[in-house]
Amino acid sequence: MKISISFYTLRDLSDLAKGEKLLDILSTYGLIIEKAGEYEPIRKDFDPNALPKMWQGKGAKPLDCTFIFKGKKEISFSGMASWELNINPKREYVNVVGMWLNIPPKYDIDRLIRLGDDLFIWSEAIYGYITEKSKNLSHTEIQKDGFTVSLGNVYRGISGLMWANYFGTPYLREKDFCLPDDHETVGHGARIILTDTPDDERLSDLNFRKVITDKIGADWFFQFEKIENGVGVLPKDRPQIEKRENDEGFLLVDCRQDKRTDATNFLSKEYKHRVARVPVFDNSEISAKS
């Protein structure tokens, strides 16, 4: 079974202790890094003593680091930790840790969940998930006026519920983000698991997921009517909400009523219109200080 794990955080990951802790977590689950590098393809054997240099990042504004790794001692896996520091405060950016595992049929699912829990807590993520590859909604694209475009990151909303879902502090602070009764508290947030196993065929049914998203709050997710060849179809009557900033703070705009045609609004019409509802994210820890 091919598994994808992703976590998105606004925490500063630049301290070497964070990188060392990541290695500790992976080794706890038998995930021993054999090769690592900054770019694909990675062919160089990994020496843990080289981590300080690999994790220190490059540049200044922003300072950035990409740590790509893989191994196959117990199970075949690969992953990437990508972080930046001193970003523009208005940039919609998140640090990411992702993993891809090829687990055998009898792999301990509880162990997979514990790995997800540890990575969620380690990264202090605002959002994350575990999914079987074929049931991953995060790569879904949509068409708008002849264009096929990606959904974007969590600043544009959540693509949909996965098998295991992790929600951090920003979501839990929202009064109308309603966690199901069977959620589990994990560190600074909460975990929701939809089925016993990641390959449960009910996860291929959008209506099955919709029942749960409706309980949490449908506006927090993209609500696809169907997905064909990786392209999702959104309901025509769904509000196309964009979160915009003005002198008084933030306001929500229904972009179906936005008739501006200037070039700077191209993304508003073709990209930003897809914004689902999002909480307030605090990126001050990784932003450039004035």
- Residue 43 is assigned to a structural domain of this protein: yes
> Are both 74 and 153 inside the same structural domain?
no
Q: From 106, 125, 144, give the residue that closes a domain.
A: 125
Asked whether residue 216 is assigned to any structural domain, the reply reads yes
Q: Is 198 inside any structural domain?
A: no
Same domain? For 212 and 158 the reply is: yes
- 286 domain residue, yes or no: no
pLDDT digits (tens, 9 = 90+) for 179-235: 999 999 999 999 999 999 999 999 999 999 999 999 999 999 988 888 888 888 877
Q: What is the mean pLDDT of residues 85-92?
A: 94
Task: Say which residue, 103 or 151, is predicted with more confidence.
Answer: 103
Decide: 36 and 164 in contact? Cβ < 8 Å. no
259 lies in some domain: yes
d(CA 95, CA 98): 10
Q: What pTM was computed for the model? A: 0.86
Q: Is residue 112 a part of any domain in this protein?
A: yes
Q: Are residues 224 and 244 in the same domain?
A: yes
Task: Tell me whether residue 113 is in a domain.
Answer: yes
CB atoms within 10 A of CB 157: 20
Q: How far is CA 225 from CA 23, 164, 218, 277, in A?
A: 41, 22, 13, 18
The answer to whether 115 and 29 have CB atoms below 8 angstroms apart is yes
